[in-house]
């Protein structure tokens, strides 16, 4: 028998085939957030026990597109960009647990397998998707600027079906952070048991 290594599958004798390296992980990226309000009852449908609706602004929802670059503490992924760059789109709501308000990711799509692996470990319900967003750049000829008048677009598709799209025009800098995103995240992991059933004749 071989003493296999690796933080995540596939685990091998060297551990180099692991889909993701061990934490900590670091992220840099551009995020585009669309915030809206919905019927709180629809949010409640997505909260497993013992979570409940947030007492303040329970119908708040944020749809977030992100163009990420990430790495482990070794930073070696930054020199092999296919292992560090990925795109993501996710939906965040507010919830309550033991009197404290949390944000919770209820849907999330990514375009790389290593991002799905990290999501499984962290308790995020990640699925494969195709997402695109306008990138800002300091040279304005081919990109919008982060400032008044900047116009940005974003799309999300999964399973060959368009799920969401948005166009945003920036007016001014916000005087407050979004109520859904910048809170402690309440995540949970579910691992269905692989059970063998024996039948006796």
Q: Could you tell me the residue ranges of all domains in the chain?
A: 25-128
Cα dist from 53 to 38, 62, 101, 105, whole Å: 13, 15, 9, 14
Count of C-beta atoms within a 10 Å radius of residue 117 = 18
Q: Which residue has the higher pLDDT, 173 or 129?
A: 129
pLDDT, position 179: 57
pLDDT, position 192: 78
**Architecture in CATH of 25-128:** Beta Barrel (2.40)
pLDDT, position 199: 62
Q: DSSP string of 9-38?
A: SSPBSSSTT-SSPPSPEEEEEEEEEEEEE-
Residues 121-134: tens digit of each pLDDT:
999 999 999 999 99
Count of C-beta atoms within a 10 Å radius of residue 192 = 5
Please tell me whether residue 5 adopts helix, strand or coil conformation.
Answer: strand
Give the whole-angstrom CA distance, residue 30 versus residue 88: 11
Q: Please, is 58 exposed, middle or buried when counting C-beta atoms within 10 Å of its C-beta (0-12, 13-18, 19+)?
A: buried
pLDDT, position 108: 98
Please tell me whether residue 81 adopts helix, strand or coil conformation.
Answer: helix
pLDDT reading at 180 higher than 60: no
pLDDT, position 190: 80
pLDDT reading at 182 higher than 60: no
Residues 28-87: tens digit of each pLDDT:
999 999 999 999 999 999 999 999 999 999 999 999 999 999 999 999 999 999 999 999
């Amino acid at each position: 028998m071989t003493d296999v290594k690796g933080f995540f599958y596939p685990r091998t004798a060297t551990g180099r085939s692991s889909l993701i390296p061990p934490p900590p992980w670091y992220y840099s990226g551009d995020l585009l957030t669309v915030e809206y309000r919905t019927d709180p009852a629809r949010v409640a449908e997505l909260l497993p026990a013992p979570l409940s609706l947030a007492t303040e602004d329970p119908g708040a929802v944020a749809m977030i597109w992100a163009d990420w670059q990430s790495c482990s503490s070794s930073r070696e992924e930054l020199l092999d960009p296919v292992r560090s760059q990925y795109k993501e789109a996710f939906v965040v709501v507010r919830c309550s647990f033991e009197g404290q308000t949390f944000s919770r990711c209820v849907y999330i799509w990514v375009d790389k397998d290593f991002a799905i692996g990290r999501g499984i470990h962290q308790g995020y319900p990640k699925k494969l998707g195709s997402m695109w967003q306008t990138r800002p750049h300091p040279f304005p000829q081919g990109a919008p600027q982060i400032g008044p008048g900047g116009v940005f677009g974003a799309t999300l598709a999964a399973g060959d079906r368009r799920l969401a799209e948005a166009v945003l025009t920036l007016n001014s800098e916000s005087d407050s952070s979004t109520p859904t995103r910048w809170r402690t995240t309440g995540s949970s992991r579910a691992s269905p048991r692989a059970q063998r059933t024996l039948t006796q004749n």
